[in-house]
Structure formats: structure tokens, C-alpha cells
Structure 1
Amino acid sequence: MPHKTSKRHRLFAGLAILIIVIVIFGGFALSGLADFDLEGRNTRLVEFDDHGNRLSGTLILPDGAAADTAPIVLLIHGDGPQDRFSHDGYLPLINSLLDDGIGVYSWDKAGIGNSTGNWLDQSMNDRANEAMAAFAALRNLDGNQNRKIGFLGFSQAGWVIPDIANRLPDAAFHILIGAAVNWQHQGTYYMRTRLEALGTRPDEIAMRIETAHNMDNRIFGPNSTYQDYLAIPHDQEVMSQDRYEFVKRNIGSDAAQQLETVTSPLLAIWGEDDLNVDAAYNATIYRKLALPNNRANRVITLPDATHGLLRSHLFNYQLADQMPDIVKLAFVVMGRHAYAPGAMDHITTWIKQITQSP
């Protein structure tokens, strides 16, 4: 009898532990799912015009009385055909900002969602002009004349926000996540990390990078055409003509000169494990050129963090569509907790310090 009782106790104990795990995981999952929901939030459609395009976006303000005075962050997309919420990938970030009393405005890229035009027709300067038009649209809303409004941009925004910061002194702050300074250096780093992940030998990587540089000079030169590009051998997917023209238009982008003259508050953050942008290299440039320009400026490299500041041991892929379905599910379950420890705190604390100071 004692033996049977002991077995029964162990069985009950095991079931109890299983039930506790299920309850905890279920609560965690529900918490993560809530981060992908804006139902009940204070939202408003805001549209604006820029160079013949009609851009459509959503302004979301914190709940309650905080809505009247909350600072607002304008989100600047990285590369690709992104809608206002980046296919819902922004929602955990947005909800985290809202919970800290910070409003958010984001719009569909030109030609995406409800916006007209074609984002591939844009230069980085065009993207800056569009963002400044969005800023003006928010500033002109009732009650926003004295509100603190700034920018938060990802990746390719590294060539957009420094331009804005030099031309829009009314902006309260600028935040860059995973920004590169030089377009071609970023492309080289991306190519190297991709080839390393495939197990390519170092000598072959060096040869292929040199070949790519020579090819870029040939096919993206001022007199080059899309037909020149099509005439070369391709070991990857062939670019559309729109994409080719976009790259040709922007391949010379370099933010170094603009960073030297940015005086408004700037926060730049990289994930230490970034596979897309050389975090250490670019952070060094920001520390040299931008950090001394304002006492509020911060340059941070975050451990265990990806290009988008997610936890790198779970989410470190160069492209979102490389993620297995189980990893995408983990992102949905974790919500804001998918971000590397400290990532959101760095951003929200800094914004509040900047916007609450006289």
C-alpha cells in the first residue's frame, strides 16, 4: 500500500506541475497575443499628400488624459513593401510605447495598402521629404501645435533620418535602430554574413565580394541600364526593373556628412548580433560624428539582440521570411517580450527624458 500511495502522489504531483505550466504558458501566450491587438485603442486615420502621392496612416494615442499631451513617434520603415504596421510586426512595439504614454503615427509606404504611388520610385531624399510631410500633417492637427513629435526609424531609415534632422529643427528627437552609414559597406557586410552562414570558405567570400564590387560599378554606374544588368549571369533572383532603378538611385547613399551636423537629440541602437548591418562599425562612426553634438545623444549596442532588437538566440535571421513557422509563432506568443532585454526600456526612457525636459 505505501508503494501505491507513493506512486499516486508522484502522479498527482506531476499532473499539478503540468497544469501549472499550462496555466503559466497560457497566460504568457495571451499576454503576447494582446500585444498584436489595437482594439480599444485611441486611433485616428491621418492622410497627407506628398509629390502627387496620397499617403494613408494611423495615429494611435495613449489611453485617458495622457492622449492630450503625449509625445508622438513617427515610424520610418526599413526596406521593402511595408504597410503602416509592417504586416503587424510593429504592433508589440507600438503597444509598448502606448503603455508608456507615447503616441505613434505610421503610414503605408507609397503604393502599399491605402497609399498611392510607388515606393521604389523614391530616393532616400524623397523618403525624407515624405516623412517631413507626415510631420507637418500631424503638427497641423488640432491640439498638436506645441506637442513633442519625433522620429523612430529602422535600418534603411539610417539614410532618411539624418537628412530630416538637418532640415527639420522642429522635430523633438530622432531614434535609429539598426542603421547603416554607407549603403555599399552595408551591402558588403550583408553579403559576407550570408555567405558565412552557408559555410563558404573565407577565400571564396573575399573573391565573391570583390567580384560583386566590380559588378556594381559596371551595372549601377551613371550610364548603365537595366539591360546591362540583365546581360550579366545571375546566381540569385533577378531584380525587377523598378528594384534595379531603386538600387541605382540610392547605392551611393552615405549619412556621414549629415551626422556631423545633426544637433537635435539622437538615440542610435544596434543589436550586437545584427546579421544585416555591421553594428560595431556603424556605432563607432555614430560615436565619433554624432555623439558629441548634443548632451542627450546616446549610442548603444545591445547584447543578445538582432537587427530589429529581438532576442538573437531565438530570432536572428537576415529576412523575416527565412524564419520557420515555429519561430514566427514564438514571436506572436511572446509579443513585446520577444525584444532583447532592455531594448524597449532604452527607447521609452530616453523619449520621456527628452520630451519631459524644459
Structure 2
Amino acid sequence: MCAGSGSSTIVLVIERAYRLLSLLLVVAALAAVPSAAAAVPPSVPPIPSDLTSTDVSIHTRDGKTLSGMVVAPRAATHPLPGLVLVHGSGNSRRKSVTPEAIAFARQGIAVLAYDKRPLDQPVYSLLADDVIAAAATLRDQPGVKRDAVGLWGISEGGWVEPIAASRSPEIAFVVLASAPGLTPLRVQNWNMLNKLTGAGVTGALAGTLSDRFYRLADDAGLFAEADHDPQPPLAAVTQPVLAVYGTADTQVPAAESAAVLTRTIRTPLTVRFLPGAGHTLRVLDGDGIYTDELFPAYAEIVGTWVRSTAAGRIPPPHTDPLPAQRATSDALTPSAWWESWPAQIAALAVLLLGFLSYPIVALTRRIRGRSVPTARPARILAATGALAVLGFVAYFVTVADSADWKGISPGPMLGGRPVLWLAVQALALITVIAAAMTAHASRRTRGDRPRQVVLLVAGALFLPWALYWGLLLP
């Protein structure tokens, strides 16, 4: 068999593989779409008859009015300690913490739950001012012990609470629930790695969706408060602190966060771990959905500590033994110039322009009735290159967007790799081979130089780009 015939056979095989993988991409993409029958969150329980509920208005420092309610024991005969509930991430309303309000009120506490200020991106300083205003509102309520009003906050609230407590000495105590002791960017990276592990994803995709994805988002300014350091606010807290964590938390590194608290907080600190509890510190049902029921002993731990602290009997410092943690979190390094979002956007533009210009110019010439000299390797390079880039971006965005508190949906899996990801990787490999063959063939081709040069520039740039995003890595 002559060399030319062998080359044609290789090109034919690559071309058929490209068509097969294109079909595979479409099929896998359809299979990766999450089901419309999403899990319905638990209904908000009504306020039981043994408790009272009073609607209140919170007037913020910047003139906003937030709605809230105070839940308290109906049979209370003396002033009660107060507890303001500080939300986690998202634009939550009071109903999201109603189960905690009910459970803590039954511990002999007047509890204020309010609608969080809606923000496109969180601003911890602004949210802390709202918390201070909420505490002032609770202090003014009948039946509340004015000098015994404190804060409880979960997850993101653990970044907000210390800011509020350090600004307002009138806040009597702080309760941290699943509070992160690390920067939001570092916590989110650890959270994503846990989601990928839970979904069975291994290999290069794990680094792409955790490390590179979040560094790019941070560099583009899409990750609000990404580098917030919780340690200075924690060190400035003068009130006694109770911190409660679940040992099965996959969203916040509990052991690392607790270690930060013990090193940083200078006031009496109690750290408790609930074996088997998850991030929300609530009970899961048979389908793995959080219910309205708080994890056993959680409400009692908070109630006992708050009542004792409010009575002036601050518990002595105590820290439960740190539990084993799935993995140690890593601080993400700042992006180099070539990793920055302008550089990445420019790379995408050059790639798509280089790959798509080849068939677009050919189509334009055909419409005008002109001859179009084309080589099969160049056609394959243009097609597979464009499809690999667009397929990667579509899959990347779809999978990242599928992440929620339950996990992530990477689509059908094969050997620890999502099928769609394997298809994009195969297209990337074909693109590199086709680029090499096109470069080799271009040395013998004299015509149509500008179009070939643009295509080869895209092919040359594709190699480092695909390596960086893990498309050519195992």
C-alpha cells in the first residue's frame, strides 16, 4: 500500500469517528439534562399552639424595611433570652428557618426569623448591618430580656455573624451552625470536589470543575466575597461563642473550620460535633431530602448553652475531638495572566474564528460560484475543533449549573468519567491529530494560504488550551 493511500485511510477513519462522536454528544447531552421532577423542599410547618408568633418590621441602617416574626413560648412567665436567626446563602425568607425558630423557641427562647435582604450577590458587611438592626428589633419586643439577645447563623451566616457581633457590643452571644472558618472560594472548591466524588467523577474533569472553574469565576468578579477572610472578624468577637457542626457535612470542612475557631476566637468558646449530621443539621428522609426535624440533641445543645449564657453562667471553654474529614481543603492560587478571563475569552474567540472561518469562507465562495480547494484533514480539523470547543463550553456550563446542595449531575458515567466528557475529549484528540495532518499537508499545498494559516493558528492554540482545561488529560 502506498503512503498516499495509507494517509487517506487514516483520514477516513478519523472522519467516521468524528461523525460517530457528534451523534454521541447529542445523545449524551439529552441524557444529562436533569429531570423536571425535582425534589420538592419540605413544607413549612405552622407555628404550634404552644408557641406565639408576632409579626415585626426591621428598619435597616440604609432605610429598608425587612419583615420578620418573633416566635416564643406561650406559657412564658418571665423575660426570655432572644435569638436572631441569620440565614445561609441565597435570598432566603423566614420560612426557610421556621423549623429552627420553633425548635429553639421550645427551648425557652424568643426567636426572631426575618426575610433576608434580596441581593444579586452577597455583601457580608451590608448583611451584618441588617443583623444588628434585627437584634435591636428583638430587644424592643415585650417579654425579651434586653441584655440577653444573641445571634444564630448557619453556613454563610457564619461569615456574617462575626462581623455583626464585632460591631455591636449589645449582642450578648453568638451561635455558629456549620460555620466556615475559611474563605468562600476555598470552601466552595472543597464543596465541589465532594460533589464530584459523590457523583463518581474522577480524572481531569474534577480539577476542571473545581480548581479552574472557581479561579476563573473569581478572576472575572463573578464570585462575590470570594476572598473574605473570616479570621479578623472572629478575632474581634468579644461575646461567648457556641459552634455546632455535623461530622457528615460535605459543604463546609467542619474539622478545619473548628480548628480555625479554636485558634482565633479569644472569648469562651464551645465547639460541639453531631455525629452523622449533615450541613443543615436536620434529619434526612429516606430519599436523602432534609426534613423540618432538627438533628437529635441539636436544639437541646443550643437551648442549654443559650439559657446558661443568658443567666450569666457562661460555660467554660470546651471543644469536642475533631472528627475525620473527607479531604483537606486547598487554597486556590491566583490566576496567571494567561488564565485570566480576558485571556480565556480571547482564546475562545480565536479558536472559534479560526475553526469556523474555514467552512464559512468555503460556503461563501460556493454561493458566488467560485471553486473551493479543500483538503480532507483541514475539513476535519475545522469541524472537530469547533465541535470540541462548543461541546466543552456547553458541557462545562451545564454541569456547573446543575450543582446544588444535593450534589451535581454530570450525566451518564463510564469508568468514572461522564460519557459526554469522554466524547468531548475524543473530539479534542481527533482535533490535535487533524491539526498535525493539516500542517503536514499544507507544505505541499500552494493555494488558499490565508484560510489555511488562520485554521492552523487555531489548531496550534487548541493544544495548550485543551491541555489546560483537561481535555487531553486522563
Q: Same fold (TM over 0.5)?
A: yes
User: Counterpart of 1:201 in 2: which secondary structure?
Assistant: coil
Kindly tell me: are residues 263 and 147 of structure 1, through their superposed partners in 2, closer, same or farther at Cα, counting changes over 3 Å? closer
1:96 maps to which of 94, 103, 109: 103
Question: Which TM-score applies when normalising by structure 2?
Answer: 0.53
Q: What is residue 363 of structure 2 aligned with on the other side?
A: none
Q: CA deviation at 1:58?
A: 0.4
User: Counterpart of 2:271 in 1: which secondary structure?
Assistant: strand
- Structure 2 matches for 1:1-358, cutoff 5 A? 36-40=45-49, 41-50=51-60, 51-66=62-77, 68-86=78-96, 90-110=97-117, 118-120=118-120, 122-142=122-142, 144=144, 146-181=146-181, 182-220=183-221, 244=222, 247-248=223-224, 250-290=225-265, 293-295=266-268, 297-311=269-283, 314=284, 328=289, 331=291, 335-336=292-293, 339-357=294-312
Q: CA deviation at 1:217?
A: 4.1
Q: CA deviation at 1:327?
A: 5.0
> Match of 2:202, as an amino acid?
R
Q: CA deviation at 1:214?
A: 3.6
**CA separation in 1, counterparts of 2:194 and 2:73?**
40
Asked if 1 retains the 8 angstrom alpha-carbon contact of 2:52 and 2:74, the reply is yes
**CA separation in 2, counterparts of 1:327 and 1:217?**
31
Q: CA deviation at 1:258?
A: 1.4
Consecutive unaligned residues of structure 2, counting only runs of 5 or more, are 1-41, 314-474
Q: CA deviation at 1:76?
A: 0.3
**CA separation in 1, counterparts of 2:192 and 2:237?**
30
**CA separation in 2, counterparts of 1:283 and 1:47?**
34
Measured on the aligned residues, the alpha-carbon RMSD in Å equals 2.5
Asked if 2 retains the 8 angstrom alpha-carbon contact of 1:283 and 1:300, the reply is no
Question: Which TM-score applies when normalising by structure 1?
Answer: 0.69
**CA separation in 2, counterparts of 1:344 and 1:184?**
30
Asked if 1 retains the 8 angstrom alpha-carbon contact of 2:162 and 2:237, the reply is yes
**CA separation in 2, counterparts of 1:142 and 1:38?**
19
Number of aligned residue pairs: give it.
Answer: 269
Identity %: 25
Consecutive unaligned residues of structure 1, counting only runs of 5 or more, are 1-32, 111-117, 221-243, 316-323
User: Counterpart of 2:156 in 1: which secondary structure?
Assistant: helix
Please list the CA deviations of residues 57-96 of structure 1 after superposition, one character each: whole Å capped at 9, or x if unmatched: 0011212234x4111110000011211121xxx3332222
**CA separation in 1, counterparts of 2:169 and 2:153?**
17
